[in-house]
Structure 1
């Protein structure tokens, strides 16, 4: 068999460009849970149709909101409408009934079953981790004899609960819990009057801005400043574009180990400076802590080039902060 024969593609019926555009437009219109529920209500109504007054009962929304979503479904070619008196009645277009039936009777149940199976698998995995969390707590309590044993055990349990709430995967949860618990215990015992300056960066997800800022402080200060980061609502993982920049700053191994962490009062209390970055008024106000707010872009909403620009903006601000803290910037010969 020749190379040409090996590389010859098998003829297939690939969806056309126009058809793909039409299908994508319809799927986009359906990408809203309330619209799917309305479509289901219309499709299963014994009358074969439903009015706005019927559909408003599906959720605590106003009739104008219902009308807005119905218009989106109608514009996508799924629904027909007919005004009768003061009410407008909606029905599935005959040409789309088969497609809607397939969506609601085949795809939706399968998707729900997959989601339920995933939740059951996750619950089983988390239950299996309980013993490992207790073992970790006992190990750290034995190691940190200068701290109250019950305190250490509580911090480990709380750290695990805080991380697992947003994490997608559980296979690395124990080492992540250990890192987070050690950080929290260090925060609890830190005396802000002594030791190196400590800066805490807080954003919403702790998956972009705050991670970058902390990494840049640690790099540019040459370890003369301890930088931490946290999120008011931590994401499941660090943004991919940010992770690539972190790899350039910290190295592949440390970047791969980066993970979003929830904000704790202990982290704020241990910091000399707290920098908020688009997370609102979520930080507790601790006497003696200096607060700043940096209005920087969100990497999750930016292109790859946009993320690079955000990183450059953060670096400039970090350099200014280090200058204010009278910390020489590594590599500047200061």
Structure 2
């Protein structure tokens, strides 16, 4: 009898929280326009162009197509509001519509890398939670003893926060304790940094901290011969450095490249920096008086071909050299 009641009882649906039909139509139209791989590549090229805009003649080099074909695809993106256009003489220049820039950034810097992420290697068994907790407690005690400038409870809080932040994005927790130690030591060094006497410090911030920001930090360390301290962080850190970038880091740093891992953005790192360089996520970085901010529009290695990755590396190196000229001269 109870089963019959359950089968015949009328449904009482709750209030729906779906987006409106009008909003769904607008979003679907934009997504349909982005359903062509060539259009996505053009959108990415325009977003990463250091001039802030691209010409039809630039974009024709992305594929073996005629300029009229390029113009057709650009018109589709313009009609859905993703691009603005301006004619100058015989050429038309395109830039990201300012009202849609945050959406384009989210698409290219967050969704796209996640969508094409390579399958994780066969997982190793995770660490035992109880054993990990004991190791974190031991680590906190060791770092507290090694950092007398800070109260022990502050150091313990930093260690616990660092562990929790890394655990949120970690796919495998077997190495979480040594990663926590590296991250916590970096944060403690930032908290105790004497700005008046310390070497210049630069913080590079991108969304995933898996590509551009890691590469820029490695180049600063190499090209400055250690005279400038480089940090990197991500507003939404990935689980690991992207393979395309890992190989470049190995060329720059050798075996030390294996120690690089994505880290979350913290206020400590921002306050300790002399220069903060954002690479696609400037809105999430706190603005603190006395700190110099720059925004570098560079391509994402996670989305690029091998040739494109090399071009991105060269672009970042050129920018790093200019930055070092100002820091080391000052």
Are 1:60 and 2:62 an aligned pair?
no
Structure-to-structure mapping, 1:176-187, within 5 angstroms:
176-187=179-190
Q: Which residue of 2 aligns with 1:50?
A: none
Structure-to-structure mapping, 1:1-334, within 5 angstroms:
60-63=18-21, 65=24, 125-251=128-254, 253-326=255-328
Q: Which residue of 1 aligns with 2:60?
A: none
1:126 Cα deviation from its structure 2 partner: 3.9
User: SS state of the match for residue 216, structure 2?
Assistant: helix
Mapped partners of 2:154, 2:305: distance in 1: 44
1:169 Cα deviation from its structure 2 partner: 0.9
Mapped partners of 1:58, 1:169: distance in 2: 37
Mapped partners of 2:149, 2:20: distance in 1: 59
- Structure with higher RCO (Cα < 8 A, 6+ apart): 2
User: SS state of the match for residue 317, structure 1?
Assistant: helix
Cα pair 2:282 2:295 within 8 Å, conserved:
no
Mapped partners of 2:240, 2:296: distance in 1: 22
User: SS state of the match for residue 307, structure 2?
Assistant: helix
Name stretches of at least 5 consecutive residues in structure 2 with no aligned partner. Answer: 1-6, 8-14, 33-124
Mapped partners of 2:237, 2:292: distance in 1: 23
Cα RMSD (Å): 2.7
Cα pair 1:221 1:327 within 8 Å, conserved:
no
1:327 Cα deviation from its structure 2 partner: 5.1
Q: Residues 8-40 of structure 1, C-alpha deviation per residue, up to 9 Å, x if partnerless? A: xxxxxxxxxxxxxxxxxxxxxxxxxxxxxxxxx
Q: Residues 245-269 of structure 1, C-alpha deviation per residue, up to 9 Å, x if partnerless? A: 0000001x21111100001111010
Mapped partners of 2:190, 2:214: distance in 1: 18
Larger Rg: 1
1:244 Cα deviation from its structure 2 partner: 0.2
Q: Which residue of 1 aligns with 2:110?
A: none
User: SS state of the match for residue 209, structure 2?
Assistant: coil
Q: TM-score, normalised by structure 1?
A: 0.62
Distance 1:126 1:209, change over 3 A: farther
Mapped partners of 1:231, 1:126: distance in 2: 26
1:309 Cα deviation from its structure 2 partner: 1.0
Aligned residues: 222
